[in-house]
Amino acid sequence: MKLTFIDWTIMVIYFVFVLGIGFALKRYMKTSTDFFLSGRSIPAWITGLAFISANLGAQEVIGMGASGAKYGIATSHFYWIGAIPAMAFIGVFMMPFYYGSRARSVPEYLKLRFDEKTRGFNAISFAVMTVLSSGISLYAMGLLLETLLGWDFSFSILIAALIVLIYVFLGGLTSAIYNEVLQFFLIVFGFAPLVFLGLRDVGGWSGLQARLATVATSNGFGAGAWSESWKYMGSPSSNPMGVEWFGLAMGLGFVLSFGYWCTDFLVVQRAMAAKSMSAARRTPLIAAIPKMLFPFLVILPGMIAIALTYKSGGSGFSLPKKLDGTFEYNMAIPMMLGHYFPSGMLGVGLTALMASFMSGMAGNVTAFNTVWTYDIYQSYIKRGASDQHYLWMGRMATVFGIVISVAAAYVTTRFNNIMDMLQLVFAFVNAPLLATFLLGMFWKRTSGHGAFIGLISGTIGAAIHQGLTLPAGAHAGIKGGWFGVVHSYPSELAQAFWTAIVAWSACFLITILVSLVTKPRAEGELSGLVYSLTERAKEDDVPWYQRPAILAVIILIAAVILNIIFW
């Protein structure tokens, strides 16, 4: 791909702008609260956009485009059942605990509700997860620049890592949030023309459906397997995801979805930066509105890419293949940009992609430096230091978090769809954590010993399941099968869904059993930490359109309608 002067100019302006935000905000980073939680002063509409943009990194933009090509419209399940219900739930039920407890992180909430060892285990596992996720963003960035511009892969990820390091090191969470808002608009304006041009080229939605029928039948599925979201979910063998409706609804719609949106500090941190409890509760609900529409921006280009690749007679477009003969699905959106966009527009599109990569990485790094500083360093390494010392440690954590992310980027090269790897990471960390949170928030009897042993059991359960299973065509190693293969899944995604189900179930059951034979905390210590012992917010004077419960119902109805339309 050859870029013109105007394309380079657009990208350079973006890089200068994001670095400028970091330098401009540095003088406001006077305390650790300013650096890690933006002083809890950000308006709801900004935290709402940042809430969705924190999840709009390389994993979503590249991963969802790749999944659109690999799995078709069924990828919309990651949004309409795999995000919207959970975003409504956290806004209505869970933000009062997070924000009201004044906890500075999700692990710190676990300490307040349970005990120190539960907080410590989650802090360590979450820290590992964030640097792995950050590495995925770096990998996607390196792959893009290497394939499209001919840059060296290692050089590309080092440049991207350096830019993120500078603006997070200087401006902390505030810098990341404002860059995420900028990235949100770049994605919208950079990808909307791509969808329009691609659909026009294939003859609109009906023309795309006809071409996707060729893709489906060529792969041994029914004609609508790539263009209908629920119809082919009766059995794993009838759809490209390789998962049946129960595995989808339970694994993605409940465990992975609620585990991510309700307990992952990466997104919760954005809502906790809001200026009031009301703004914090509205944050995920505001984010849910554009979230419902994003399948049309990031999934459709991938579907168009695979349709053009299979077009009889050639279309001038074809996804590249890896050495093992499988398509390099991660290149679907970058190659679509090169195929359709002229000079100038190409610069905007590539800038939007790079913004998503660096924003996703920055989101993970800001979550990592907060958890490392408050929940690991302050708790176990150096207690009682000054606030300025912890501010310094937060900046140092930014440095070594990015160094580890660079190493994680090379692990990601083993997957042809980064979304598959990401779901596997979530299955190990977020799935058991969800069980702990649900029991802790809604069952007073849950004990600290029960939560701790349950979390460990859930993680071990995920490891055992992963070690005994393997996706079809894969070799034992990072994708599983360490203990021998007793079951083979049709796809990596199906394996990740069931790994999550096993992890959640193990944690849920063990937590209950251990809690029943151990001593719970006194009710007087649980005020504001358990649903039945927390005072409900009064909303008598609040306009209906600002009431979380009403907003949540409207959003859920809209999600149901979208599922029916694309059934």
The rounded percent of the chain whose pLDDT value lies above 70 is 93
pLDDT of 436 higher than 90? yes
State the chain's mean pLDDT as an integer.
Answer: 84
d(CA 247, CA 235): 10
Q: Which of 375, 404, 473 is nearest to 105 (CA)?
A: 375
Q: Per-residue pLDDT tens for 269-289? A: 777 777 778 888 888 898 888
Helix (H) or strand (E) holding 493: helix 492-516
Joined tokens for residue 79 = 């949004």
Joined tokens for residue 309 = 């690749």
Ordered DSSP codes for 536-565 = PPP-TTS-GGG-HHHHHHHHHHHHHHHHHH
Q: Per-residue pLDDT tens for 185-203? A: 888 888 889 999 999 998 8
pLDDT of 39 higher than 60? no
pLDDT of 549 higher than 90? no
- CA 66 from chain center: how many Å? 15
pLDDT of 303 higher than 90? yes
Ordered DSSP codes for 61-116 = HHHHHHHHHHHGGGGGHHHHTTTHHHHHHIIIIIHHHHHHTT-SSHHHHHHHHT-H
d(CA 356, CA 365): 14
pLDDT of 27 higher than 90? no
Q: Per-residue pLDDT tens for 109-149? A: 888 889 889 988 888 888 888 888 788 778 877 777 777 77
pLDDT of 395 higher than 90? no
Residue 540's pLDDT band (boundaries 50, 70, 90)?
low
Stretch 437-457: mean pLDDT = 93
pLDDT of 538 higher than 80? no
pLDDT number for residue 449: 95
Question: What stretches of 275-379 show up as alpha helix (H) in DSSP?
Answer: 277-293, 295-298, 300-309, 332-340, 345-371
pLDDT number for residue 346: 85
Helix axes 345-371 and 265-272, enclosed angle (nearest 10) = 90
Give all domains of the chain, ordered by start, each with its CATH number: 5-307+325-427 (1.20.1730.10)
pLDDT of 316 higher than 90? no
Q: Which of 470, 450, 457 is nearest to 502 (CA)?
A: 457
Residue 158, Cβ neighbours under 10 Å: how many? 14
Joined tokens for residue 208 = 């795309």
Question: Nearest 10 degrees: CA dihedral of 93, 97, 100, 102?
Answer: -150
Main-chain phi, psi angles of 314, to 5 degrees? 85, 145
Relative to beta strand 469-471, strand 487-489 is parallel
Question: Nearest 10 degrees: CA dihedral of 534, 38, 180, 77?
Answer: -10
Joined tokens for residue 280 = 């914090």
Minimum mean pLDDT range among 93-107, 228-242, 366-380, 456-470? 93-107
Stretch 181-186: mean pLDDT = 80
DSSP structure class, residue 251: I
pLDDT number for residue 31: 72
Q: Return the HEC string of 376-432.
A: HHHHHHCCCCCHHHHHHHHHHHHHHHHHHHHHHHHHHHHCCCHHHHHHHHHHHHHHH
Q: Which residue has the higher pLDDT, 514 or 546?
A: 514
Name, in order, each residue with C-beta under 8 angstroms of 96's C-beta and a sequence gap of 6 or more: 277, 281, 534, 537
pLDDT number for residue 312: 57
Stretch 218-241: mean pLDDT = 89
Joined tokens for residue 36 = 């890690």
Q: Per-residue pLDDT tens for 467-503? A: 999 988 788 877 888 888 899 998 888 899 999 999 9
Q: What angle do CA 66, 72, 73 make, to 5 degrees?
A: 115
Q: Which residue has the higher pLDDT, 53 or 243?
A: 243
Q: Which residue has the tokens 């977020």?
A: 430
pLDDT number for residue 37: 62
Helix (H) or strand (E) holding 488: strand 487-489
Stretch 79-102: mean pLDDT = 85
Helix axes 548-565 and 277-293, enclosed angle (nearest 10) = 10
DSSP structure class, residue 469: E
Q: Per-residue pLDDT tens for 332-372? A: 888 888 888 888 888 888 888 777 777 777 777 878 888 88
d(CA 468, CA 483): 6
Q: Which residues of 244-267 are buried (b: 16+ CB within 10 A; e: fewer)?
A: beebbbbbbbbbbbbbbbbbbbbb
pLDDT number for residue 505: 96
Q: Give the pTM.
A: 0.81
Q: Could you tell me the end-to-end alpha-carbon distance of the chain, in angstroms, rounded to an integer?
A: 38
Q: Which residue has the higher pLDDT, 454 or 385?
A: 454
